[in-house]
A and B are shown apart, each in its own frame.
With several copies, the nearest count.
Chain A
Amino acid sequence: MSLDIDDYIAKEVHACEYTLDDYTTEPARWCKGCGAHGALGAVQRMLRENNEAPENVITVSGIGCSSRFPHYLKTYGFHTLHGRALPVSVGVSLARPEMKLLTVMGDGDCFSIGGNHWLHTLRYNINATVIILDNEIYALTKKQASPTSRQGTMSNTSPRGSYLEPLNPLSIVLGVTNLSFVAQTASWLPGHMQATLDRAWKHKGLAFVRILQRCPVFMPDAFSGASAEFPAQFLEHCSGITPDKGILRNAPTVAHDPSDINAAQKIAANAHKDLEPLGLLYLNTEVPTYNEVRYSHVQQSDKFAKAELLNQYLDSYAIGNPNEEG
């Protein structure tokens, strides 16, 4: 890896050209105390720290409270369909590899209706930071159990408690081929969240970040009410994310090497029953991005060369005058 001085200056000694206002449109319309506010702030701070020009960022979302995100972040945005943020992201990524891509989904959005795209986009490993605001509930539609709702969650479609153990998104993603980055953080840990987002942003490939998100309106008690009592553990490693424990001061720190998939799976498997891991679960910087994979096979040429080639193809279907064939 060569390091050139301009690069170094650009990356490390940059002055922040942008203010938080440069990333802000209207005041965010989420409820008071909603964890999405914190996530939005963390994204904005992260963008400022990375000195990203707002016009070079594209934010794609699905449908849900969480998916209102692009409307409050001053970047280009596409608020798509419930569950379909990832296919649109794949298209955006293929179209404009030079742009930076942020994809925001809710738990229902990504893990329920969007489950198929979730699996496959992880496998494509497009270059994007993909965050899930997981409040363990369908919030926008006013309280139905989501796949991550803990068993027994009282909701409008499970008024006597939800029936199943929650789906474990971490253990699922850790089974997907071409996985390159998995981290978990929480909306009430602003420092940790920003640090995590920053790592994700700098990662080349698909950085999957699950943000445990408070929804005080429909799930006030989730995550132990986002109190200091929330049973969590911080993952620590020299290549990981530095624990910033915020309110979870007493949460243990455990060593975890994010290059060890099996160790990550073990941690993930016990997340719900045991302690929610916060930090970097898995990292593999060697996986090529989908753009790399695909564009390395694509020929670049000007319109005249293309026209010439198309003429050749058309000629290969010519009849009547076989002598003229190439």
Chain B
Amino acid sequence: MSKATFETKITELDEHIVEIVSDAGEGAQAAGNTFAEVCARSGNGLWTVEIIPSEIQPPPHTTGSASGNRIRVGNSPITNGGDLTNLVVAFNEMALLSRIQTDSLAPDVTVIIDDMWSRHDDAQIRQDYREILDDLSAKGAKVWELPIETECQRVAPDSTRGKNMFIVGMLLCLYNKDLEAGFTIVDEMFGARSQAIVEMNVKLMEAGYIFAQQTFAETYSIAPLQDTDNLVAMNGNTAIALGSVAAGYELCAMYPITPATSASHELSDFFEKFGGIVHQAEDEIAAIGVAVGSNWAGKPALTITSGPGLALKTEFQGLTVMSETPLVLVNVQRGGPSTGLPTKVEQGDLLAALWATPGDAPKVVIAPSSIEECYHIMPLARKISEEFRALVIVLSDANLATGRQLFKRPTVNPDLLSNTLDMSPVPPGTKPFDWDPETGLSQQILPGRPDGMWVATGLNHTPEGKINYLSASNQLGMTMRSRKLAVLQSTLKTPEIFGDDSGDLLIVGWGSTKGAIWEAVAKERAQGVKVSAMNIQFISPLPPGLKEAFGKFKKVMAVELNYADDPNDPYITPENRRYTQLATILRSNTLVDVDCWGKVPGSPLMPQEVRSIIQTQIENIK
């Protein structure tokens, strides 16, 4: 019974983007997660994006209330949220409208909607419903108005709640997935709570499945990945939380802020089992202060925040750099400036991460470009911070934070999970800033070691850690702190170029847009376009070889989710144009005329947007 039993046409697909949207609280998110989980377990590539209402409890049956999930499923590894939606299941017409308003649906989208609204008492609702659907149909959508609530009530007369599982059942049928796998997940979700709930949901799911069998003459099939061994699926904030454990952190000092907080929620859940503590401080200044104190004293600590919190941590960043205390600061970017678009994605904090600190404060800035990297960047960041006694800022963003992706299950290195302090007496003459004159590197002396007493300070200081106001001492300290970046840079490789090493156009990006950019480039290359892509993980220090690599292309263009003036806008000239943030840095570093495309839609970059950028650029080049 777990496969469609009567004759339907099964269309093989490479991938599909499916959305499930309802009013907040109606369960579309759970439905999406369940469907995604079945797809993942069946071996599909996957990227999910949460659809979150902006208010906590928005008025129901409004566009602001739309809540749900966007699931991109494919037969190959999936690195981003993709383009327009192929199939949407909407609990009501306003949820559907919100997706139209955010330009997320393909013109030929398949729409499945509960037809109960066509019979609603409120004439306005009936009218809206009709107009929205007619409009969609006119533009090419394929609309299925189905008696979902009615069908659900047959199985569960009292429940308006179970609709979401009915819909999962429909989707399992539509995509020829294993219904039993859906049952398993229901059991995992509710089994511990109540067997009655499990049964009810299983019944609804099954009913949805059967209803779909009877309804759809065409269904879809998406083949599994070639290699599905040893994969995990999680979102970027979970990856950061688990990566922090893997890196051996023992303290996370934070203050709640969206979209960073969920990483701390995860840690709060399990950190204590690993000997760790989440300290929710009174504010972000205290949070970084606690982390600095802990690292200075010998317990590895990190701090996690988003834009406004990053701003508050500015002063302490200076002290961290000056006192050469290792610190990893994770900043999960959201829309700015100021409170901005708190739940939405943007890559607008790059320059702030690099240069917010008054005075010259060299620091390391790195950005994960996938959810997998969110995990692995944490041990890397810790290692750099300790070996270089440096501040390392990790720039993630809301897209990575809440997106869910499949990746190779990391292996755990137990050696990172212990933190034994060297408490041996300090040999005479050892200095707290025993800078190697070539590299600027030195060893931190942890408190507790006999004969090692020294005082950390944010004032200029000598190798002995003594306050000093003389020119030569100040110049030396600055030089040593800066030199460390050059040393780190000398260990970096030129970032891989995706595509040919030379050609017409090189698209450069950083962070979470990698998936969309590379996918777009792959597709354009498949059309014969001479475009390549580069993703820059180390932004401070920048890796070597950029200028040379850029020189092999007719044009280099940064594509970023942050603001740039449109060169065609009034008053904008080549002289006053404000470039995207990475472009600003690359231009300075390479003197190559790096152009840029920067927008701030608050939503993840779509491959098709990048393709159209590429197409326009290629036309201009020719």
Contacts and interface: CB of A to CB of B under 8 A. Distances in A.
A and B touch in the complex (CB under 8 A): yes
Contacts of B418: 302-303, 306
B283 A116 contact: yes
Interface string A304-326: 10110111011101111110000
B105 interface: no
Interface string A96-107: 101100000000
B232 A314 contact: yes
Interface string A15-46: 00000000001010111101000000000000
Interface in B423-460: 447-459
Contacts of A75: 453
Q: Which residue, A80, A99, A295, A322, has most C-beta atoms of chain B within 10 A?
A: A80
Contacts of B258: 141-142
Given A91-B293, A96-B299, A300 B275 contact: yes
A42 B532 CA distance: 62
Contact of A95 (B251, B255, B273): B251
A158 B268 contact: yes
Interface string A133-157: 0000011111011010000000011
Contacts of A280: none
Interface in B217-270: 228-234, 238, 242, 245-246, 251, 253-258, 261, 264-265, 268-270
Nearest to B233: A319
Interface stretch (A50-58, A184-192, A251-259, A265-273): A50-58
Contacts of B253: 91
A113 interface: yes
A83 B414 CA distance: 39
A91 B296 CA distance: 9
Contacts of B289: 80-81, 84, 86-88, 90-91, 117
Nearest to B291: A91
Interface stretch (A63-71, A173-181, A202-210, A235-243): A63-71
A48 to B, nearest CB: 15
Given A84-B316, A91-B292, A302-B418, A319 B456 contact: no
Contact of A306 (B261, B274, B294): B274
Given A58-B447, A318-B232, A79 B282 contact: no
Nearest to B37: A319
Interface stretch (B404-412, B543-551, B604-612): B404-412
Given A116-B283, A117-B282, A318-B232, A298 B293 contact: no
B453 A89 contact: no
Contact of A77 (B278, B287, B298, B455): B455
A81 B316 contact: yes
B134 interface: no
Given A314-B232, A318-B231, A157 B412 contact: no
Nearest to A87: B289
Interface stretch (B50-58, B534-542, B552-560): B50-58
Q: Which residue, A25, A92, A297, has most C-beta atoms of chain B within 10 A?
A: A92
B277 interface: yes
Nearest to A120: B282
Q: Which residue, A25, A302, A317, A318, has most C-beta atoms of chain B within 10 A?
A: A317
Interface in B500-526: none
Given A80-B319, A94-B290, A317-B233, A99 B448 contact: yes
Interface string B156-167: 000000000000
Interface residues of A, number: 88
Interface residues of B, number: 97
B294 A91 contact: yes
Contacts of B448: 55-56, 76, 96, 98-99
Given A117-B286, A306-B414, A313 B453 contact: no
A78 interface: yes
A84 B272 CA distance: 27
Given A298-B276, A303-B414, A77 B294 contact: no
A199 interface: no
A317 B282 contact: no
Given A58-B297, A322-B184, A79 B458 contact: yes
A60 interface: yes
Nearest to A155: B268
Given A81-B338, A95-B299, 16 more contacts: A32-B57, A63-B339, A71-B466, A76-B448, A78-B455, A82-B308, A87-B290, A88-B292, A90-B289, A95-B251, A117-B289, A157-B268, A301-B274, A307-B414, A313-B270, A317-B234
24 contacts: A29-B59, A55-B449, A70-B455, A77-B456, A78-B456, A81-B339, A84-B285, A86-B286, A86-B289, A94-B277, A95-B298, A95-B301, A117-B289, A145-B280, A159-B265, A297-B272, A301-B274, A306-B275, A314-B412, A317-B232, A319-B40, A319-B232, A320-B228, A321-B229
